[in-house]
Amino acid sequence: MADIARAIEPQSDRQNAVDYETGPKVFTVAGTSDYRDEKGRAKVNVHLAEAPDRPFKPSATNLRLIAIGWGEDDTTWPGRRIKLALDPEVMFGREKVGGIRVVALSGMEQPFTAKLPITRGKKQAFRVEVLPDAPTPPPIPEDVQTLAQYQDYYRHRAQNGATPEELAMIQQNAPTNEGS
């Protein structure tokens, strides 16, 4: 089976709106880091466990939404889940270009709507839903016993929505060589 999703993935060092044309995606936050943009302004990378080489670089609006949902202490963010989606209404200057929008966050008790600035003097309401915590991973089937079977099972689960924790569990339980 060809990995179509990987083949159409843009070559980039960050998440891009085009990544979400096929629908929203859920990620586990691995951590954050600071950086400066080309004008020297402070920005934040949100590192994603499922996309370690392509962080989410949230706009001020998205970062405000995350801070409302989770608080400004980013040391509490790792392990939480975030759902990102394409918002075709995102403007750049006077042009609708589309962009990434935070649509749901785990670790909240209830959804919220925040009225945030989109241009000078103009605000817009943004809704953020509650994202359930990661589901409990399924147990490893009893017929998966050899290293080759564990490798096949790992690939199958990786292509079918396994969390990084589940993939790590599969690796930890796999025999270290074919003779085990």
Give the integer Cα–Cα distance in Å for 72 and 74.
6
Model confidence, pTM = 0.72
Residue 2 in any domain: the answer is: no
Please report which confidence band the pLDDT of residue 96 belongs to, taking 50, 70 and 90 as the band edges: confident
Residue 45 counted as domain residue: yes
| Whether pLDDT at 67 is above 60 | yes
Q: Quote the pLDDT of residue 8.
A: 65
Q: What is the mean pLDDT of residues 82-110?
A: 92
Number of structural domains in the chain: 2
Domain that holds residue 149: 135-180
Burial-class residue 65 by CB neighbours within 10 Å (0-12, 13-18, 19+).
buried
- Residue 164 φ then ψ, to 5°: -60, -35
Q: Does residue 164 share a domain with residue 107?
A: no
pLDDT for the residue numbered 102: 97
- Phi-psi sector, 19: left (phi>0), alpha (psi -120 to 50), beta: alpha
- Based on the domain organization, do 66 and 147 belong to the same domain? no
Q: Is residue 89 domain-resident?
A: yes
* Same domain (yes/no): 107, 54: yes
Structure tokens at 103: 């649509």
Asked if the model's pLDDT at residue 64 lies above 70, the reply is: yes
User: At which of 130, 147, 166 does a domain end?
Assistant: 130
**Single-letter amino acid, residue 136:** T
Specify whether 124 is located in the same domain as 142.
no
Residues 106 and 50 in one domain: yes
* Percent of the chain predicted with pLDDT > 70: 94
- Verify that 96 and 155 share a domain, yes or no: no
pLDDT at 93: 80
The verdict on 44 and 60 lying in the same domain is yes
Q: Note the pLDDT tens digit of each residue in 11-46.
A: 678 888 888 988 999 999 999 999 988 899 999 999
Q: Is residue 4 part of a domain?
A: no
Element (H, E) at 33: strand 25-36
100 falls within a domain? yes
Contacts of 51 (CB under 8 A, 6+ apart): 15, 27
Whether residues 83 and 111 fall in one domain: yes
Which pLDDT belongs to residue 177?
72
Statement to judge: residues 116 and 174 lie in one domain = no
pLDDT tens for residues 120-168? Answer: 888 999 999 999 887 778 889 999 999 999 999 998 888 877 777 788 8
Who wins on pLDDT, 93 or 99?
99
Choose between 38 and 9: higher pLDDT.
Answer: 38
Inform me whether the pLDDT recorded for 180 exceeds 60: no
Give the integer Cα–Cα distance in Å for 17 and 9. Answer: 11
Domain co-membership, 139 together with 168: yes
Q: What is the DSSP letter of 71?
A: -
Residue 4 burial class via C-beta count within 10 angstroms: exposed 0-12, middle 13-18, buried 19 and up: exposed
Quick one: 159 and 124 in the same domain? no
